[in-house]
């Protein structure tokens, strides 16, 4: 439903209200597929795709069980929706299409969409009242990826975030809201992207440090806010903030953790994250729950912040099991990633799952030996082609913005993370033996470099995006400059 | 504007704290919202009573009002929980109210964090409230893979020690009967059968984070292991190309320190002749990896070339690793 503000067509929607596709009640019971039924679809699977597209991405998988359940209905419906887009035949797709049958990235549309997403929202958007730091972060990250200079909104970012910072430390989702690690993460990263002394100086590091001390739990993890839940998101956001702001690693004197003998923010943290790996190999939001792509990224990025991945990931995770699970997140013909076993592809996992790969690949490559890329890198362990086809073919909305899948509306969250996933496929991310930071603990976190991949690309030169730091999910320079500024400021 | 807090005598002693969304700064703040008047009114009083740490009936009603306008407002939930305890309210009544909100906002997670905070109270809940599991099944009827609900249910098992409560496994069975591909239900099953119990750290695989191999039990009940392997087999026979039971079976064997090789013949049923399961092919590749590297390469090559080519780079990596072992 298009919403109108002061006569202007607003294209931006907030993501959290997405509902799963509704399956009619009577179809929920398991049943057997008729032997004659054509795999996935009636009309579209018959039409010939554009030239240059391998059959892998235009046909249902070779093995399909006869037993149909709700999961299969949803999966079939998704394939059916995606196929015309994967084949480059849908009327809403804008070109031009290249020789690989892949449509161009509609840069101007997406830039326009993201700038629009930073402006005023009508009353119906009250549900995002606690997510305004995120709205800023998603838009700035998306715009940075698209090569826009976001320093132009520096003052506006500062004035937006200022009232959200609480005197007792941290940022809430809005003025007068309890400080939250997610909001604080989005706020700190947004300040890093616009950069400059005034932006950096906005953060009260002393109170932030003391607040983080109140979130650290006896089992090693972090609560997301005082009185809130504990999960790996919290751990990742906390270590992101601590490492970027150059906060002391030691817990504040009054931190609860000190009563159980803990001294540092990282104490027991690797063990907590290790308990989040499940028997499937993936990583859950908290110990014992189902493996999930978004939490996998949070846990692996957190481990890669607190030490070199070849040590931290290798020590805390069963790597072969993790690789197998992560690899199984990619489906054909869709080419994109799902977040969990037997769930559907969703554009946002282009980053959450896609972003795990450079971390694992780097863990496999081992300790960096030079200032350049490792000579015998393991390389990409997933299909970059598949993901690029899904992103450019299925996730671009006709009026700008990117989406979960065809049939869904775009929103800033998906626009940010789908573009981040595209950028990830375009670059080789590796660590060097030189760190931008003088810190010993975080030396590895600040030693990442990216170089464009030149071979076997299905996208065009004009589709290229800026590289992001694989742990902080903002441009490399933005992360490094922030860290260096705080290193030079007395705490 | 008849029903505003501003013109309500009951609230006349409170000085509201108006919203500062940055608009006063003159710098045009980002992602602002044209809030409805009643929301601005209610939240300005919310900020004021929160700042004063007021624990009162009127504050409790105010939280309900704000939640009805924006259930994603996490702060108001945390405040509400504190008031409920401070005023010693009837938490069963609160749960009843929550049930309705939960069914209305299926994707909201603040609701589940709130429920957990209430249920954590040992003073109020010495045992599991009788209707709790019924309500969770009602939620699963709407979305059988709802991550927040499963997270809560896992926590509930540990909170009340429900590993061996027949109802837990019955519910898992019912959900798997409806959809054998419900991986959330398989995960819950694993946790019930093989997760660490009360005296261990907070869940996950046993021994994880201790330096020992995670997921491997010192002692297992072999009858449970055998019956769970049978459950997995039956599920696989219904739908062989379903990843969930294959990986469940791996987890079961791992728990018992038993080899994948004991399923060589069973996995072979789906590979010999017409290939009916990529997971069976991968299983055989892992069985062969130890002593029959060439046959393992053959299996992985089948996956790479014919049955699962989107994962070609991964299968190539696996083949390369076999070469290094051999």
CA–CA distance, A420 with A415 (Å, rounded to integer): 8
> Which residues 274-293 of B have a C-beta within 8 angstroms of A?
275-278, 282
Q: Which residues contact A248 (CB under 8 A, 6 or more apart)?
A: A209, A491
A159:B29 CB<8 A: yes
What are B219-231's pLDDT values in tens digits?
A: 999 999 999 999 9
The pLDDT value given to residue A4: 32
Report pLDDT for A1.
31
Please give the average per-residue pLDDT across B264-278, as a whole number.
Answer: 97
Burial of A154 (0-12, 13-18, 19+ CB in 10 A): middle
Q: What is the pLDDT of residue A27?
A: 58
Q: Which residues of chain A have pLDDT under 70?
A: 1-27, 35-45
Residue A12 lies in a domain: no
**Cβ pair A273, A316 in contact under 8 A:** yes
Structure tokens at A331: 């489906």
DSSP of B58-110, one letter per residue? Answer: HHHHHHHHHHHH-TT-HHHHHHHHHHHHHTT--HHHHHHHHHHHHHH-TT-SH
Find which of A39, A226, A289 to mutate to test the B interface (most B CBs within 10 Å of its CB): A289
- Distance between the two ends of chain A, CA-based, in angstroms? 50
Q: What is the DSSP letter of A297?
A: H
**What whole-number distance in Å separates Cα of residue B252 and Cα of residue B215?**
9
**Three-state DSSP state, A488:** helix
For residue A311, the tally of other CB atoms under 10 A from its CB is: 17
Is residue A3 domain-resident? no
Closest CA to A295 of A394, A390, A224, A383: A224
What is the extent of the structural domain holding A454? 107-119+128-488
Domain count, chain A: 1
Q: Tokens at residue B249, please?
A: 């079976």
**Chain A contact present for B175, CB below 8 A:** no
Contacts of A4 in chain B (CB under 8 A): none
Structure tokens at B260: 């994948």
Q: Judge whether A248 lies within some domain.
A: yes
Q: Which residue in A190, A203, A92, A97 sits closest to A142, CA to CA?
A: A190
Q: Which residues on neighbouring strands pair with residue A449, listed in sequence order?
A: A430
Nearest-CA distance A274 → chain B (Å): 5
A67-68 vs A31-32, strand pairing mode: antiparallel
Mean pLDDT of B41-45: 97
Q: Determine which one of A395, A411, A427, A464 is catalytic.
A: A411
Which residue in A40, A129, A316 has the most chain B C-beta atoms within 10 A of its own C-beta, making it the best mutation to test that interface? A129
A476 is catalytic: no
Domain assignment present for residue A43? The answer is no
- Short-list A146, A144, A182, A184, CA closest to A164: A184
Q: Which one of A159, A180, A290 has the shortest CB-CB distance to B183?
A: A290
- Reply yes or no on whether A276 is catalytic: no
**B36: closest chain A residue by CA:** A123
Residue A406: strand, helix, or coil = coil
Question: pTM of the prediction?
Answer: 0.96
Q: Show the CA angle centred on residue B239, arms to residues B236 and B243, nearest 5°.
A: 70
**Contact residues, chain B, for A286 at CB < 8 Å:** 151, 202-203
Task: Tell whether B178 is within 8 A of chain A (Cβ).
Answer: yes
Please report the number of interchain residue pairs, chain A to chain B, with beta-carbon separation below 8 angstroms.
287
A468 φ, ψ (degrees, to nearest 5)? -110, 155
Residue with tokens 């006569």: A7
Helix axes B293-302, B312-325, angle to 10 degrees: 180
Distance from CA of A142 to the nearest CA of B (A): 15
> Which two tokens mark A395?
């996730």
**Is there a catalytic annotation at residue A292?**
yes
- Rounded CA-CA distance B128/A220 in Å is 28
The CATH number covering residue A378 comes to 1.50.10.20
Q: What whole-number distance in Å separates Cα of residue B302 and Cα of residue B282?
A: 10
Q: Would you give the DSSP letter of residue A47?
A: S
Q: For B207-245, give one letter per residue: b (16+ CB within 10 A) or e.
A: bbbeeeebbebeebeeeebeebbebbeebbebbbbbbbb
- Asked whether residue A207 is domain-assigned, the answer is yes
Q: Quick check: A15 and A117 in contact, CB under 8 A?
A: no
CA A107 to chain CA centroid, nearest Å? 20
Yes or no, beta carbons of A270 and B215 under 8 Å apart: no
Residue A14: what pLDDT? 46
Per-residue confidence band for B149, with pLDDT thresholds at 50, 70 and 90: very high
CA pair distance B142, B104, nearest whole angstrom: 10
Cβ neighbours of residue A238 closer than 8 Å, sequence gap 6 or more: A181, A212, A215, A216, A222, A265
Query: Residue B208 half-sphere exposure, CB side, CA atoms within 13 Å?
Result: 31
In SS3 terms, A337-363 reads as EECCCCCCECCCHHHHCCCHHHHHHHH
Other C-beta atoms lying within 10 Å of the C-beta of residue B144: 22
- Report the C-alpha gap between B326 and B323 in whole angstroms: 5
Which residues have a Cβ under 8 Å from the Cβ of A454 and sit 6 or more positions away?
none
Chain position carrying tokens 């292991």: B225
- Is A343 in the active site? yes
Query: In this structure, is residue A281 part of a structural domain?
Result: yes
Q: Does B200 touch chain A (CB under 8 A)?
A: no
Task: Report which DSSP code applies to A44.
Answer: G
Complex ipTM above 0.85? yes
pLDDT, residue A36, reads 52
Which among A76, A109, A231, A346 is annotated as catalytic? A346
Query: Is A5 inside any structural domain?
Result: no
The structure tokens 């093989």 sit at B194
* Phi, psi of A475, deg, nearest 5: -55, 145
A370 within 8 A of A432, measured Cβ to Cβ: yes
Closest CA to A63 of B313, B303, B315, B260: B303
Question: What is the three-state SS of A175-242?
Answer: CCCCECHHHHHHHHHHHHHHCCHHHHHCCCHHHHHHHHHHHECCCCCEECCCCCCECHHHHHHHHHHH
Residue of B nearest to A283 (CA): B204
DSSP symbols for B260-298: GGGGHHHHHTTTSSS---HHHHHHHHHHHHTT-HHHHHH
Distances (CA, A) of A435 to A201, A308, A442, B217, B252: 24, 12, 9, 41, 43
Using a CB-CB cut-off of 8 Å, the residues of chain A touching B238 are 65, 67
Beta bridge partners of A223: A230
Q: Which of B35, B178, B190 sits opposite A279 (nearest CB)?
A: B190
Q: Is the dihedral of CA A415, A418, A421, A427 positive or negative?
A: negative
What are phi and psi for residue A4, nearest 5 degrees? -115, 130
- What tokens does B87 get? 């005023």
At B310, is the secondary structure helix, strand, or coil? Answer: helix
Residue A152: inside a domain: yes
pLDDT at A19: 42
3-state SS record for B122-169: CCCCCCCCCCHHHHHHHHHHHCCCCHHHHHHHHHHHHHHCCCCCHHHH
Rounded to the nearest 5 degrees, what angle is found at the Cα of A325, between the Cα atoms of A324 and A330? Answer: 95
Tell me how far apart the alpha carbons of residues A281 and A285 are, in angstroms, rounded to a whole number: 13
CA B102 from centroid of its chain's CA atoms = 15
ω into residue A96 within 30 of 0, thus cis? Answer: yes
Cβ(A106)–Cβ(A95) below 8 Å? no
Which band of pLDDT confidence, cut at 50, 70 and 90, is reported for residue B198?
A: confident
- Residues B85-140 have pLDDT tens digits of 999 999 999 999 999 999 999 989 899 999 999 999 999 999 999 999 999 999 99
Spatial neighbors of A266 by CB under 8 A, at least 6 apart, are: A239, A249, A306, A441
Indicate the helix (H) or strand (E) that contains A10. Answer: strand A8-10
């Amino acid at each position: 439903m298009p919403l109108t503000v002061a006569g202007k067509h607003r294209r931006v929607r907030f993501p959290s209200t997405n509902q799963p596709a509704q399956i009619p009640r009577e179809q929920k019971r398991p049943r057997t597929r008729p032997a004659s039924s054509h795999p996935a679809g009636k009309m579209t699977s018959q039409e010939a795709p554009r030239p240059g597209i391998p059959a892998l991405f235009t046909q249902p998988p070779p093995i399909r069980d006869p037993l149909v359940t709700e999961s299969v209905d949803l999966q079939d419906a998704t394939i059916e929706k995606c196929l015309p887009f994967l084949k480059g035949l849908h009327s809403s797709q804008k070109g031009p299409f290249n020789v690989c049958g892949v449509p161009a990235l509609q840069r101007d549309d997406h830039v326009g969409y993201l700038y629009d997403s930073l402006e005023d929202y009508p009353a119906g958007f009250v549900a995002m009242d606690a997510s305004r730091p995120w709205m800023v972060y998603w838009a700035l990250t998306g715009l940075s990826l698209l090569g826009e200079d976001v320093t132009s909104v520096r003052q506006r970012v500062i004035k937006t975030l200022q009232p959200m910072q609480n005197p007792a430390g941290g940022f809430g989702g809005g003025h007068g809201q309890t400080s939250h690690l997610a909001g604080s993460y989005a706020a700190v990263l947004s300040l890093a992207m616009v950069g400059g002394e005034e932006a950096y100086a906005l953060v009260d590091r002393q109170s932030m440090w003391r607040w983080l001390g109140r979130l650290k739990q006896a089992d090693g993890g972090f609560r997301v806010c005082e009185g809130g839940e504990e999960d790996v998101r919290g751990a990742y956001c906390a270590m992101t903030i601590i490492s970027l702001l150059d906060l002391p690693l030691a817990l504040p004197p009054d931190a609860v953790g000190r009563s159980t003998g803990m001294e540092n923010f990282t104490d027991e943290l690797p063990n907590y994250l290790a308990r989040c790996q499940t028997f499937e190999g993936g990583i859950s939001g908290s110990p014992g729950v189902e493996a999930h792509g978004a939490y996998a990224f949070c846990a692996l990025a957190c481990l890669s912040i607190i030490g070199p991945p070849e040590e931290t990931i290798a020590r805390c995770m069963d790597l072969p099991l993790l690789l197998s699970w992560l690899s199984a997140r990619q489906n054909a013909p869709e080419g994109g990633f799902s977040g969990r076993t037997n769930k559907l592809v969703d554009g946002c996992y282009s980053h959450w799952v896609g972003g795990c790969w450079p971390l694992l690949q780097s863990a496999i490559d081992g300790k960096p030996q030079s200032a350049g890329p490792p000579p015998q890198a393991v390389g990409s362990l997933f299909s970059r082609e598949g993901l690029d086809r899904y992103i450019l073919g299925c996730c671009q909305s006709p009026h700008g913005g990117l989406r979960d899948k065809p049939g869904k509306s775009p929103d800033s969250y998906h626009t940010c993370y789908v573009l981040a996933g595209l950028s990830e496929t375009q670059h080789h991310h590796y660590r060097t033996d030189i760190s931008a930071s003088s810190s010993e603990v975080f030396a590895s976190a600040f030693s990442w470099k990216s170089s464009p991949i030149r071979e076997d690309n299905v996208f065009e030169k004009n589709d290229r995006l800026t590289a992001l730091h694989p742990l902080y999910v903002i441009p490399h320079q933005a992360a490094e400059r922030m860290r260096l500024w705080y290193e030079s400021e007395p705490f | 504007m008849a029903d505003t807090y501003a013109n309500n005598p009951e609230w006349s002693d409170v000085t509201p704290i108006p919203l500062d969304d940055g608009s006063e700064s003159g710098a045009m703040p980002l992602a602002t919202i044209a809030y409805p008047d009643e929301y601005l009114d209610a939240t300005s009083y919310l900020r004021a009573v929160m700042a004063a740490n007021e624990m009162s009936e009127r504050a409790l009603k105010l939280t309900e009002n704000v939640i009805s306008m924006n259930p994603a407002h996490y702060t108001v939930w945390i405040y509400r929980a504190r008031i409920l305890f401070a005023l010693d309210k009837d938490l069963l009544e609160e749960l009843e109210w929550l049930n309705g909100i939960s069914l209305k906002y299926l994707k909201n997670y603040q609701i589940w964090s709130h429920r957990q905070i209430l249920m954590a109270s040992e003073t109020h809940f010495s045992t599991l409230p009788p209707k709790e599991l019924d309500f969770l099944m009602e939620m699963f009827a709407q979305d059988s893979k709802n991550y927040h609900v499963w997270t809560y249910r896992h926590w509930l098992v540990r909170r009340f020690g429900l590993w061996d409560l027949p109802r837990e496994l019955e519910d898992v069975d019912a959900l798997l009967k409806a959809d054998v591909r419900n991986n959330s239900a398989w995960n819950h099953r694993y946790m019930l059968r093989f997760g660490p119990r009360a005296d261990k750290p907070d869940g996950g695989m046993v021994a994880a984070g201790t330096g020992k191999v995670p997921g491997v039990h010192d002692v297992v009940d072999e009858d449970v292991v055998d019956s769970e392997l049978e459950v997995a087999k039956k599920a696989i026979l219904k739908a062989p190309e379903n990843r969930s039971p294959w990986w469940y079976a791996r987890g079961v064997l791992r728990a018992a320190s038993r080899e994948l090789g004991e399923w060589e013949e069973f996995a072979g049923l789906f590979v010999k002749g017409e290939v009916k399961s990529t997971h069976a092919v991968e299983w055989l590749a892992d069985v062969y990896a130890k002593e029959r590297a060439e046959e393992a390469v053959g299996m992985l090559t089948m996956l790479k070339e014919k049955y699962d080519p989107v994962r070609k780079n991964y299968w190539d990596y696996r083949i390369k690793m076999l070469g290094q072992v051999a």
